[in-house]
Structure 1
Amino acid sequence: MEIGVIHTIQPDSSENMFNPVSEFGLTVCQLCCWDTTYATPEMAERVIREAKEANVRICAFWAGVPGPQQWNFTEGPVTLGLVPQAYRAERVKALKQWADFAQWIGAPAIITHCGFIPENLTDPEYPAVVEAIREVALYCESKGIGFWFETGQETPIVLLRTIERVGTSNLGINMDPANLVLYGKGNPIDALDVFGRYVRNIHVKDGMYPTDGDHLGKEVRAGEGKVEFPLFMSRLKQIGFTGELIIEREISGQEQKDDIRRTMTDLQTWLQA
């Protein structure tokens, strides 16, 4: 398991855009961007060139989509991912653009949040959500890349069910154990019993469970929340996971850098336990 960090495309940087990854002493990242105006051959060429110069491997591309995004329980179900009908078509289009971009830069897959996928499989909206995901997944498949769900707004069994119903050969999971906690959707270690065979990347992130019905739980530095990383890493090894451990800390500034460095050290300890 190689340790990396999530990293956003920096189109305005006058330096190598991968310098922040190199400054951590890391050689792998999960590249992220939300603005599809950068999904161009020219940007792809720059990414390839600067990643090579920095000796950084891109293990997947995290694909953002247009439109409003409210990361909570109130507006979240009607703004996130491919679930809201109002934004579905333009987001399918955006994900296809990112699939092209991922192919150009040699990334093995795109990753995104699909949203609050209906828990009730008889929900009349569920088939349309599955079909939208299948359309994107088939396009990715035609490009020779994977389509990976990031865990978050859905329970483990809903995610497994949806993977089974989409049915393409290129589906996987970018498992964010903190999101299962933050959204109150499940225990990360137990979730591996449900969908572990589909896990391709890990977001090393931690958090606390929600304490009211409107707001997500609080994100905290890895090791200070409810994920129980030593046990989680042990279970990953038991199921044969060999993918990347991508550190994500959703704050900014010096504290973010300090927390990432501390997590890099902690991961070495957890992996040896």
Structure 2
Amino acid sequence: MFKIGTLADWFGLGLLEGIRESSRCGATGVQIYAAGEFDPRTTATDSVVKEVISVARASGQTITALCGELGGYGLEKAEDNAAKIDYLKQVLILADRLDCRIVTTHVGVVPKDRSHPRYEVMLNAMGELAYFANRLGSYVAVETGPESMTVLRAFVDECGPGAAINYDPANLVMVGADDEVEGVRIAGSAIVHTHAKDGRSLKQIDPEDFYHQFAEGGLEWAAQSGCSEETPLGEGSVRWMPYLRALQEIGYNGYLTIEREVVNGSEDIRMAVQFLKECIEQL
């Protein structure tokens, strides 16, 4: 059956206290951003890594995944990709040290048309990362967002065995990219991790336009755009029971990792853990 995780950073308490708070909320796993306090290029020193492992063990927390924060256009721009690929390889190595096999990331907008020049740029970058991940026995999991599941699944398959999907149902419903329930069946065995997030669409916008404007303006633009809004779990448009049943159908039994992208989200995260437990009991 599913396990419940949280994202340590969204508690607003700092990395180590976020891991402890995840346990206090009733979750058994925690995802960590490989940035800020835990950046493999700067701050994730040997002593910090040992402390994270120690606190996670003492708190009964499995590290479900690391989040590789590419920002901007992900892997869309060839001129930026060497540095981003190097960073994600360092994140994969960091994850391996934590006995964690999944790194999630946003790669940008995968074109529907394979002949689009951007497709080859993204395929080359992800293919290199997938090969590297596979040699470690790990996955680079592309987060759902602007693409239909048919497009994303085909892209991930082409990238090779180290590529996978981090399924976020709210990202799909907020921009109308695909049906969050049927998409699970299309993504199928490529799903290795999920985010439990909720939200709703407020007005129609082309998913590619939304994500490219988001690449420039970030969360501040998204909040002011009037296109969509994130909500506490159970208050948005995600159809949770059909969604969870679809995950059951495909044999997924991994983590539902709560992502609540607000400052100091502790109370919402705590309520989300309880919401998911109640949903799971009904399955």
TM-score range, shorter chain: 0.7 to 0.9
Shift of 1:126: 1.0
Q: Secondary structure at the match of 1:61?
A: strand
Measured in 1, the distance between the counterparts of 2:15 and 2:92 equals: 26
Assess if the C-alpha contact under 8 Å between 1:9 and 1:31 holds in 2: no
Assess if the C-alpha contact under 8 Å between 1:210 and 1:217 holds in 2: yes
Counting matched residue pairs gives: 257
Assess if the C-alpha contact under 8 Å between 1:16 and 1:54 holds in 2: no
Question: Where in structure 1 are there 5+ consecutive unaligned residues?
Answer: 70-78
Q: Among 186, 192, 198, which residue is 2:184 paired with? A: 192
Assess if the C-alpha contact under 8 Å between 2:157 and 2:163 holds in 1: no
Q: Does 1:27 align with 2:19?
A: no
Deviates more, 1:22-31 or 1:185-194: 22-31
Q: Does 1:120 align with 2:113?
A: yes
Equivalent in the alignment of 2:136? 143
Equivalent in the alignment of 2:60? 55
Equivalent in the alignment of 1:104? 97
Measured in 2, the distance between the counterparts of 1:43 and 1:155 equals: 39
Please give the TM-score of this superposition, normalised by the length of structure 1. Answer: 0.86
Deviates more, 1:128-137 or 1:142-151: 142-151
Q: Secondary structure at the match of 2:6?
A: strand
Measured in 1, the distance between the counterparts of 2:259 and 2:32 equals: 12
Q: How does 1:55-74 map to 2 (within 5 A)?
A: 55-65=60-70, 69=71
As a proportion of its length, which structure holds more helix? 2
Q: Among 156, 159, 166, which residue is 2:152 paired with? A: 159
The amino acid that maps onto 1:2 is: K
Greater relative contact order (Cα 8 A, min sep 6): structure 1 or 2? 2
Q: How does 1:252-263 map to 2 (within 5 A)?
A: 252-253=263-264, 256-263=265-272
The amino acid that maps onto 2:184 is: L
Shift of 1:159: 0.8
The amino acid that maps onto 1:108 is: R
Q: Secondary structure at the match of 1:138?
A: helix
Equivalent in the alignment of 1:171? 163
Compared CA separation, residues 44 and 163, structure 1 to 2 (3 A):
same
Q: Deviations over 1:179-232 (max 9, x none)?
A: 111232111101012112211222110111251435441111111111110111
Equivalent in the alignment of 2:86? 93
Q: Secondary structure at the match of 1:265?
A: helix
> Alignment identity in percent?
27
Please give the TM-score of this superposition, normalised by the length of structure 2. Answer: 0.83
The amino acid that maps onto 1:235 is: A
Assess if the C-alpha contact under 8 Å between 1:5 and 1:248 holds in 2: yes
Measured in 1, the distance between the counterparts of 2:80 and 2:171 equals: 23
Assess if the C-alpha contact under 8 Å between 1:208 and 1:220 holds in 2: yes
Measured in 2, the distance between the counterparts of 1:60 and 1:16 equals: 18
Q: Among 240, 243, 250, which residue is 1:229 paired with? A: 240
Question: Where in structure 2 are there 5+ consecutive unaligned residues?
Answer: 211-224
Assess if the C-alpha contact under 8 Å between 2:142 and 2:166 holds in 1: yes
Equivalent in the alignment of 2:194? 202
The amino acid that maps onto 1:119 is: K
Measured in 2, the distance between the counterparts of 1:183 and 1:85 equals: 26
Measured in 2, the distance between the counterparts of 1:200 and 1:226 equals: 23
Shift of 1:110: 0.9
The amino acid that maps onto 1:137 is: A
Assess if the C-alpha contact under 8 Å between 1:204 and 1:245 holds in 2: yes
The alignment yields a C-alpha RMSD, in angstroms, of 2.2
Equivalent in the alignment of 1:45? 50
Q: Secondary structure at the match of 1:226?
A: coil
Equivalent in the alignment of 2:219? none
